Amino acid sequence: MQISARRLENKTIFDVVGDIDLANSPAVRKALLAEIKEKKIPCVIMNLEGVKYIDSSGIASLVEGLKASRDAHARFILFGLSKSAREVLQLSRLLNLFEIYDNEEQALSNERA
């Protein structure tokens, strides 16, 4: 898995490529929390177009990011969920707790998909 950050004004977009599982979810969590808690970025966006698989440890990292963003009164947005990733989020019954868009354009313009 690879995770890289793009910084646009007051937003950070994380581009994630690869599976998110127990082997690499700590890296996702660390990157998210550093951006939200330490750098205090008011809007963090996760580009998951390149993520074909996510397991409970990956969902846990996204939940940590969402919790931290709520605590910091920041926004936490997901876009580009694969069928598999969406299925897993649905299974967790957490899908509706996240702000989710189909693509980057929608995420940046804040139009709910």
Partner 1 sequence: MVRRRLLLRIELKSDPQVLCGVRGAISPIAGAIGFKEEDCRAITLALDEAITNVIRHAYGGKPGRRIEIELSKLNGAKQEQAGLEILLFDRGVKPKPDSFKGLPPGELRSGGLGLHFMRQSMDKVVHTRVGSTNRLRMVKFIR
Angstrom distance (rounded) from CA 45 to CA 61: 14
- Cα separation, 60 vs 104, in Å, equals 23
Q: Which is nearer to partner 1, 87 or 111 (CB)?
A: 87
CB of 99 to partner 1, least distance (A): 13
Residue 93 interacts with partner 1 (CB under 8 A): yes or no: yes
The residues facing 2 across adjacent strands are 17
| Residue partners of 22: CB distance under 8 A and separation at least 6 | 55, 57
Map residue 24 onto helix, strand or coil. coil
The verdict on 69 binding partner 1 (CB under 8 A) reads no
Residue 73, helix vs strand vs coil: coil
Residue numbers 16-35 binding partner 1 by CB under 8 A: 19, 21-23
Indicate whether 84 belongs to the interface with partner 1 (CB under 8 A): yes
Tell me which residues touch partner 1 (CB under 8 A).
Answer: 19, 21-23, 53, 55-57, 59-61, 63-64, 66-67, 84, 87-88, 91-94, 97
